[in-house]
Amino acid sequence: MGAYVLRRVLLMIPTLFGIMAISFAVIQFAPGGPVEQVIAKLTGQGGGDPLSGGGGGDGLGGEDNLGSAEGSTRYRGAQGLDPEFIAKLEKQFGFDKPPLERFGMMLWNYARFDFGDSYFRDISVVDLILEKMPVSISIGLWITLISYLISIPLGIRKAVKDGSTFDIWTSAIVIVGYAIPGFLFAIMLMVFFAGGSFFDWFPLRGLTSDNFDQLSLWGKIVDYFWHLALPLTAMVLSAFATTTLLTKNSFLDEIRKQYVVTARAKGLTERQVLYGHVFRNAMLIIIAGFPGAFISAFFTGSLLIENIFSLDGLGLLGFRSIIDRDYPVVFANLYIFSLIGLFVSLISDMMYTWIDPRIDFERRDV
């Protein structure tokens, strides 16, 4: 197992390099970079405020930098701006260097976990990510835990009762739940239970109340889950449906195999057959899907829910950073979560061997 783990760790290097290289190359062709964002702000063409919250650097801006220099530039909307001012902007954002040099510097810094500062916020990228992480951790961990704790027992029960009234009705509920988009269900929950047209039972914004620090320990726990109730309900629907049906189908495939018939012929009870033989084989596919489910819930899957319920987490941070062309934040998020995904995938493979010791990855080609 040690040799397999070492090979996987070494393979992470070219994988991570490929992810960053492709993303960096795509960014080079994307219009509206950080220089254009500043130009649009200065000329009144931008709708956002990319310079809010600081920005560091040279503190560029102001009418003194607006010139009447003739000649065109390669930046859209830069006509009439002093070329020296444009050059200062390029230097501030690091665009005065060739792309390959910038890419090499980024990889060197990221290898040392030095992610620099945000372009448009007066804060380091690491501090910014740590600031948003509690929200995403709360959503990701709880959604994964709840969906697995409900879906696995329900999926097993549906497999055992395949074709029964219980199986038919639960399948109908699961399929309907899967068909409803999470963001639409979130809006429905807001309308009904968050001060919309009916009840005002749950808060609409944030992860905690304003008086959270003054509450007792039990009061903090209640307040925390009170704020998470609607977002988790909205997100658990699709995850719950997918994992339930996957568990059921996996168990059905195993129950119909010959070794189950042999185990029953030996006089084992249904519970012994189900949990002593079928369980570890059927659960392999569920474990294989865990890394993707966890990463999705932890980051990308919570984007719309974070936006609807005003939860300022990593999903919303990544989206806003792409819109604002805040490249240090964009690439740091990509690097960190790609690295987490690769390691979680390795942990998932190691869990294979824990559930079924017959699996030996060292005998297989990577």
What tens digit of pLDDT does each residue of 255-273 get? Answer: 888 888 888 888 878 788 8
The domains found in the chain, sorted by start residue, are: 35-122 (no CATH), 126-363 (1.10.3720.10)
* Residue scoring higher pLDDT (301 or 160): 160
Distance CA 254, CA 116 (A): 51
Q: What is the pTM of this model?
A: 0.70
Q: Write the CA distances from 322 to 30, 31, 287, 316, 319, integer angstroms.
A: 11, 12, 32, 10, 5
Nearest CA to 356 out of 255, 287, 281 is that of 281
How far is the C-alpha of 47 from the C-alpha of 4, rounded, in Å?
Answer: 52
Q: What pLDDT does 57 receive?
A: 39
Its sign, for the CA torsion 58, 59, 61, 62, is: negative
Average pLDDT over residues 304-320: 79
d(CA 231, CA 242) in angstroms, rounded, equals 18
Q: Which of 247, 33, 31 is nearest to 119 (CA)?
A: 33
